[in-house]
Amino acid sequence: MTYTGTLTSERQAPRKRDAEATRAGILKAAKHQFAKCGYDGAYLRDIAAEAGVDAALINRYFGGKEGLFQAALKDSIFPSVSHWERKGFGLELAKVMAGHAHQNPERTHAFAFLLQAATNPTTAPMLNVAVQKRFMGPIREWLGGEHAAARTRVLASVIIGLLVERLIRDEPLKGQERDIFIERTAAVLQSLVDS
């Protein structure tokens, strides 16, 4: 084989890329940068550098910063209502909320990203659309019954408030305080689930 033949065969076998892994890496970096710097302070070049890709790939996969932000929102809001059980829902969630905020670092990071998005006039409307579609809608369907929309809004407000309190507290509750917190929080949450 000649030198020219060697070059030709090398060009015909381009390096394979894992598109899903690249996309996931970009999303992970984006959520980190948006949570840390906010929408206005997060730059595509920094996101690309953190993901270890060329910035042009962000445009290819997401169409730009706004598309990337919307994809990051979608990826950060994950109510898994399909496994929620009505009976004992309040008690189970109250126990989680009495625990440590960093029990699940990925979810804590996602929540911090959402809080950052809620405080920016540019991103708050995008967050509202994503929350309605991916959080409120599934919960409203799961709740069903009379006044489902209003009960969903109150339940979501209580859950978000509990998440913020747990994040600020940054340590699990202990002893009698934990017991009282669980008992009363469970009652509030369960009253919103029972129609």
Rounded distance between C-alpha atoms, residue 116 and residue 102, angstroms: 18
Q: Kindly list the domain boundaries of the chain, sorted by start residue.
A: 17-72, 81-193
pLDDT of the residue at 150? 94
pLDDT digits (tens, 9 = 90+) for 148-170: 999 999 999 999 999 899 988 98
- Contact 71/163 with Cβ under 8 angstroms? no
DSSP H or E run through 48: helix 44-51
Cα–Cα nearest to 25, from 67, 54, 5, 66: 54
Residue 10: which pLDDT band, with cuts at 50, 70 and 90? very low
Residue 6: which pLDDT band, with cuts at 50, 70 and 90? very low
Environment class of residue 152 by beta-carbon count within 10 Å: exposed (0-12), middle (13-18) or buried (19+)?
buried
Rounded distance between C-alpha atoms, residue 144 and residue 139, angstroms: 8
pLDDT digits (tens, 9 = 90+) for 18-74: 888 999 999 999 999 998 888 999 999 999 999 999 999 999 999 999 999 999 988
CATH number corresponding to 17-72: 1.10.10.60
